[in-house]
């Protein structure tokens, strides 16, 4: 906390490159991590199947806990700008075991989504070249592995090259989304839209029109997935020009931009395709796995390849930005002895978490290839389970904010809202989403697979978190881990391993000032 760290001397930093990112660069990375085009393509159809015409308001409701937790991230980052984020903050608030599980939640989410991003990247790459090859699972999987390896290498080389790449890739994504919306407006205004097209209605934004509680919960959890990723800019806090302020601002800005993006594109897609259960209708289950792929030929005609490129770029872009926070999270865990020492190795030239980055790439590749061999349906179930890990560690962060600042919560109005009320409400919402979703996922009819008579989504989601408990217990028996689990290397009053002083002002690679 502020009053306990102000007089203590700063400990050495972890060795990461400082002063690399400005506000624009941090925001770009936060947005790119959510893979906006891919997230919409993979999620919008399922949200419509769950709640029908209330899809736009479902995205708005899901945004609320995201924004509230973003405030928690901002406040915690101002006090403790550590790249371990949830792990570091939860450890300081609740102790080593809760903190370790928070860090594990971040790692699980990253590993699961990387496998799915690689699959999408491999598939869409070949859709541009030869649609027949895109149906070959071996070639698609091999291509996905190449994408993981390439993005791992870029992350290994440093945030500057990664940021330059993300500026271009995010620009392509938003250009495609803008063209999509404009094309829909033109089609609706000229009468060239398909038969199921409809005029947007205010009822689509009615929060009281949901017909099913389970459908509502499912839609919210799916919507949480498409917002997830903005916290990457917080994991790069030690590499920004102003670690205490820029990452938090970038997080808030990212979530607001995503809200406008998702609601706007959702309304456009619903208006153009309608909600019918046949043909192009978004209520057609055959279109749910990829809405853009279903609409591209009719809406774009000979330029349909633009949407294919956009989804490909979105998946590949997010592959790189997903590696960044996970590698830095494990770096922080190693720095405080919550993981083996090697995870804390920083490259002497590139100042990146070299070992953690490489391990992340290897583990994700093994996970991806393994699940593809077992069943592509099982791989699909992993993405449905991802919301559990997201809700898990975001909720921990919200509760950690309240407890970490407990002695100053009512010192002023700012603290009441941003350190107490907003984080607490966000954490409670996400906890409720986690519980209700886990109950629904237990049903064997949920998802594509059944394991031991239980829904495969539940087994993957809860099982991956339970695996973290096992690994934590195993690591706690190693001598090197003892100081961490005794609360000696990281506790409420421990100074964290962050840069010793503010980096002298210079232009970041995005051209902005701190």
Alpha carbon separation from 412 to 401, 407, 418, 424 (Å, rounded): 16, 12, 10, 17
Q: Are the C-beta atoms of residues 271 and 198 closer than 8 Å to each other?
A: yes
For residue 296, which of 306, 286, 284 has the smallest C-alpha distance?
306
Q: Are the C-beta atoms of residues 107 and 90 closer than 8 Å to each other?
A: no
Q: Given pLDDT bands bounded at 50, 70 and 90, which one contains residue 218?
A: confident
Q: How many CB atoms lie within 10 A of CB 272?
A: 24
Average pLDDT over residues 424-439: 92
Q: Which residue has the higher pLDDT, 155 or 130?
A: 130
Q: Which residue has the higher pLDDT, 496 or 316?
A: 316
Which range among 3-17, 56-70, 408-422 shows the weakest confidence by mean pLDDT?
Answer: 3-17
Taking CA 348 as the corner, what is the angle to CA 15 and CA 358, rounded to the nearest 5 degrees?
90
Helices 354-374 and 96-129: crossing angle, nearest 10°? 60
Per-residue pLDDT tens over the stretch 199-210: 899 999 999 999
Q: Are the C-beta atoms of residues 427 and 435 closer than 8 Å to each other?
A: no
Give the 3-state secondary structure of residue 40: helix
At residue 190, does pLDDT exceed 70?
yes
CA–CA separation, 293 and 272 (whole Å): 14
Q: Write down the H helix ranges in 52-158.
A: 55-79, 86-94, 96-129, 137-157
> How confident is the model at residue 219, as a pLDDT?
87
> How confident is the model at residue 424, as a pLDDT?
98
Q: Which residue has the higher pLDDT, 269 or 34?
A: 269
Q: What percent of the chain has pLDDT over 90?
A: 42
Per-residue pLDDT tens over the stretch 298-339: 888 888 888 889 888 888 888 777 787 888 889 899 999 999
> How confident is the model at residue 161, as a pLDDT?
54
Q: Given pLDDT bands bounded at 50, 70 and 90, which one contains residue 501?
A: very low
Residues 80, 86, 91, 96, Cα dihedral to 10°: -150
Which range among 24-33, 109-118, 437-446, 500-509 shows the weakest confidence by mean pLDDT?
Answer: 500-509
Mean residue pLDDT of the chain comes to 85
Which range among 109-123, 152-166, 296-310, 346-360 shows the weakest confidence by mean pLDDT?
Answer: 152-166
> How confident is the model at residue 146, as a pLDDT?
93
Q: Given pLDDT bands bounded at 50, 70 and 90, which one contains residue 512?
A: very low
Token pair of 192 as six digits? 């060239």
Alpha carbon separation from 374 to 116, 137, 371, 447, 506 (Å, rounded): 14, 12, 5, 16, 51
Q: Given pLDDT bands bounded at 50, 70 and 90, which one contains residue 234?
A: confident
Which range among 139-143, 285-289, 462-466 shows the weakest confidence by mean pLDDT?
Answer: 285-289
Per-residue pLDDT tens over the stretch 367-422: 889 888 877 777 777 877 888 899 999 999 999 999 999 999 999 999 999 999 99
CA–CA separation, 119 and 226 (whole Å): 17
Token pair of 387 as six digits? 């919301």
> How confident is the model at residue 170, as a pLDDT?
86
Specify the pTM: 0.84
At residue 6, does pLDDT exceed 50?
no
Q: Are the C-beta atoms of residues 458 and 434 closer than 8 Å to each other?
A: no
Which uninterrupted H or E stretch holds 450? Answer: strand 450-451
> How confident is the model at residue 162, as a pLDDT?
54
Contacts with 289 (C-beta within 8 Å, 6 or more apart), sequence order: 42, 45
Average pLDDT over residues 222-238: 79
> How confident is the model at residue 319, as a pLDDT?
78
At residue 100, does pLDDT exceed 60?
yes
For residue 112, which of 286, 235, 229, 250 has the smallest C-alpha distance?
229
State the chain's maximal CA–CA distance in angstroms: 72
Q: Which residue has the higher pLDDT, 443 or 376?
A: 443
> How confident is the model at residue 500, as a pLDDT?
40
CA–CA separation, 297 and 131 (whole Å): 14
CA–CA separation, 71 and 256 (whole Å): 12
With tokens 């979530």, the residue in question is: 255
The DSSP letter of residue 420 is I
- φ/ψ (deg, to 5) at 274: 75, -175
- φ/ψ (deg, to 5) at 455: -55, 130
Q: How many CB atoms lie within 10 A of CB 130?
A: 11
């Amino acid at each position: 906390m502020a009053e306990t760290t102000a007089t203590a001397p700063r400990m050495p930093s972890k060795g990461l490159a400082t002063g690399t990112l400005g506000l624009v660069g941090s925001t770009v990375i936060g947005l790119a991590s959510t893979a906006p085009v891919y997230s919409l393509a993979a999620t919008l159809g399922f949200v419509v199947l769950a709640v029908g015409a209330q899809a736009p308001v479902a995205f708005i409701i899901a945004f609320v806990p995201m924004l509230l937790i973003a405030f928690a991230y901002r406040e915690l980052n101002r006090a403790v700008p550590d790249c371990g984020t949830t792990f570091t903050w939860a450890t300081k608030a609740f102790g080593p075991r809760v903190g370790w599980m928070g860090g594990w939640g971040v790692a699980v989410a990253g590993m699961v989504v990387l496998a799915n991003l690689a699959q999408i990247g491999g598939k869409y790459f070949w859709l541009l070249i030869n649609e027949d090859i895109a149906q070959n699972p071996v070639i698609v999987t091999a291509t996905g592995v190449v994408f993981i390896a390439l993005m791992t290498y870029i992350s290994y080389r440093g945030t500057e090259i990664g940021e330059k790449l993300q500026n271009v890739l995010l620009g392509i994504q938003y250009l495609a989304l803008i063209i999509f919306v404009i094309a829909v407006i033109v089609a609706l205004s000229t009468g060239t839209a398909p038969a199921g097209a409809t005029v947007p209605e205010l009822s689509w934004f009615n929060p009281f029109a949901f017909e099913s509680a389970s459908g509502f919960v499912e839609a919210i959890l799916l919507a949480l997935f498409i917002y997830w990723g903005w916290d990457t800019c917080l994991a790069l806090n030690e590499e920004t020009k102003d670690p205490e302020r820029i990452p938090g601002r970038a997080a808030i800005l990212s979530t607001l931009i995503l809200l406008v993006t998702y609601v706007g594109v959702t309304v456009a897609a619903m208006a153009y395709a309608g909600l019918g259960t046949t043909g192009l209708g978004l209520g057609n289950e055959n279109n749910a796995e990829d809405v853009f792929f279903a609409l591209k030929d009719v809406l774009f005609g000979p330029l349909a390849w633009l949407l294919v490129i956009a989804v490909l770029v979105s998946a590949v872009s997010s592959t790189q930005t997903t590696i960044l926070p996970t590698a830095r999270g494990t770096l922080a865990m190693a720095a405080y002895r919550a993981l083996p020492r090697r995870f804390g190795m920083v490259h002497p030239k590139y100042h990146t978490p070299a070992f953690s980055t490489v391990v992340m790439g290897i583990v994700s590749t093994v996970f991806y290839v393994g699940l593809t061999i077992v069943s592509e349906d099982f791989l699909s179930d992993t993405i449905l389970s991802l919301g559990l890990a997201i809700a898990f560690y975001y909720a921990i962060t919200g509760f950690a904010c309240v407890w970490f600042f407990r002695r100053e919560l009512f010192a002023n109005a700012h603290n009441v809202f941003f350190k107490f009320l907003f984080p607490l409400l966000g954490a409670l919402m996400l906890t409720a989403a986690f519980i209700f979703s886990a109950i629904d996922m237990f049903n064997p009819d949920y998802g594509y697979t059944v394991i031991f008579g239980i829904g495969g989504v539940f087994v993957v989601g809860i099982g991956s978190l339970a695996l973290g408990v096992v690994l934590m217990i195993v690591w706690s028996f190693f001598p090197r881990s003892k100081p961490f689990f005794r609360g000696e290397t990281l506790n409420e009053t421990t100074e964290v391993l962050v840069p010793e002083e503010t980096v002298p002002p210079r232009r970041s690679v995005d051209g902005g000032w701190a």
